[in-house]
Structure 1
Amino acid sequence: MEHVKRWRRLNGKTINTPIEEEINRTLSLEYEMGHTVSVCIGTDSQVKGRVTEFATVIVFIRKGKGGFMYILNDSTTRKMSVKERMLVEVGKSIEVAYPLCHIFSRYNVHMEVHADINTNPNFKSNDALKEAMGYIMGMGFTFRAKPHAFASTSCANKIVH
C-alpha cells in the first residue's frame, strides 16, 4: 500500500485537497487581495539512526507583508551518502515544483528552488553542488544554494522532525 503524502500548514492544519488545487486557490486569493508574491521551494533532511527524515516546503513571500508556507514530511530507511542525500533533497523539491510551475506562470509568480548545499568546498554537501545546480537549472528553475537558500536551510530545517 502506497503511503499518502499529506501537506499541512505551519499551524498544523492538514491540506485535504491535492496541493495543485490548494496552490491555485491560494494564489487566486493572494492576487485578489493585491499581494505580489514569490515562491521558494526547498527540502532539508536529517539522519536519525537508521531513518532519514525529509521536510519539503513551499514558501510564499508577500512583498512587504510577510509570508507563509506549506509543509510535507517524508522519511526513508535507505542508507545514503551525503552527496546522494543532497541530490534526493533536490529531487523532492523538483518533484513538487514541476507540477506547480504552470500555476505560478498563470499568476506571474517568480519561483526559485533552494538547495541545502554549501557553496564552500570545505563542506561535504558541496560535492553535490554542480549536479544539483545542473538539475535545477536544466528544469528551467532559478537555483539558490547556501547562504541564499533560506527555504531549505531555514524553513525546512526547522520543520524536519
Structure 2
Amino acid sequence: MEQQWRKLNGKPIGQPIEDEIRERIVQEKAAGHELKVCIGTDSQVKGNTTEFATVIVFIRKGKGGFMYIRSETSRRKMSVKERMLVEVSKSIDAAFHLCRIFTLYNIDLEVHADINTNPAFKSNEALKEGMGYIMGMGFAFQAKPFAFASSSCANKVVQ
C-alpha cells in the first residue's frame, strides 16, 4: 500500500502523486517558472520507533518553492548506518517513480542524503554506500552540507 503524500500545509493529496506532480509542473511551467527538484529523507528515533519523512522539494529558480511530504514509521531497531541507507532507499524510491515525469518536462533532479561528509560523524559510515546507491541509479547526489532537502526540509517534519 502506498503511503499518503501531503502538502506542506498538511492537506492530503487526493490523487496519485504522479498525477499531482504532472499537473503542478504544467501549472508552474505555464506561469513561466523554471523548476528544479530535490528529493530527500530524514529520520528521527523516538523511543522504540523511527519516524521517516520523505520530501519532494520543488525550487522555482529565483521565486521560492513548494514541497510534498510522506511520513512513515518503523518499529525495527536499526544501526545508524542501516537507518541512513533506509533513508536513501526511500528517497530513491520516490525519485524512481517520478523521474520519467521530470525527464519529460526537462527538470533537473537531485537526490539528497542526510549523510555527513565529515568522518567524525556516525552517519559518515554510510557515505560510500549511499552515494553509490544514488549515483548507481543514475541520479545526481548531494550530501551534507548541501543536502538541504533531507537535512532541512525533511528534518523539520520529523522533529
TM over 0.5: yes
Alignment of 1:44-123 (within 5 A): 44-123=42-121
Task: Give the Å deviation of 1:24.
Answer: 0.6
Tell me the secondary structure at the aligned position of residue 144 of structure 2: coil
Structure 2 residue runs of 5 or longer lacking an equivalent are none
Which runs of structure 1 show a deviation greater than 3 angstroms over 4 or more consecutive aligned residues?
A: none
Residues of 1 paired with 2:130 and 2:85: CA distance? 6
Q: Which residue of 1 aligns with 2:21?
A: 23
One-letter identity of the residue aligned with 1:5: Q
Tell me the secondary structure at the aligned position of residue 145 of structure 1: strand
Output the TM-score relative to the length of structure 1. Answer: 0.97
Q: Percent sequence identity over matched residues? A: 69
Tell me whether 1:141 sits opposite 2:134 in the alignment. Answer: no
Aligned length: 159
Residues of 2 paired with 1:12 and 1:88: CA distance? 24
Structure 1 contact 59–68 (Cα < 8 Å) conserved: yes
Structure 1 contact 43–156 (Cα < 8 Å) conserved: yes
Tell me the secondary structure at the aligned position of residue 50 of structure 2: strand
One-letter identity of the residue aligned with 1:22: E
One-letter identity of the residue aligned with 1:40: C
Structure 1 contact 6–16 (Cα < 8 Å) conserved: no
Structure 1 contact 6–15 (Cα < 8 Å) conserved: yes
Residues of 2 paired with 1:5 and 1:82: CA distance? 24
Tell me whether 1:5 sits opposite 2:28 in the alignment. Answer: no
Residues of 2 paired with 1:61 and 1:11: CA distance? 17
Tell me the secondary structure at the aligned position of residue 74 of structure 1: strand
Task: Give the Å deviation of 1:12.
Answer: 1.2
Task: Give the Å deviation of 1:25.
Answer: 0.6
Structure with bigger strand share is: 2
Residues of 2 paired with 1:108 and 1:20: CA distance? 16
Task: Give the Å deviation of 1:91.
Answer: 0.1
One-letter identity of the residue aligned with 1:19: I
Structure 1 residue runs of 5 or longer lacking an equivalent are none
Task: Give the Å deviation of 1:55.
Answer: 0.3
Tell me whether 1:129 sits opposite 2:143 in the alignment. Answer: no
Task: Give the Å deviation of 1:99.
Answer: 1.1
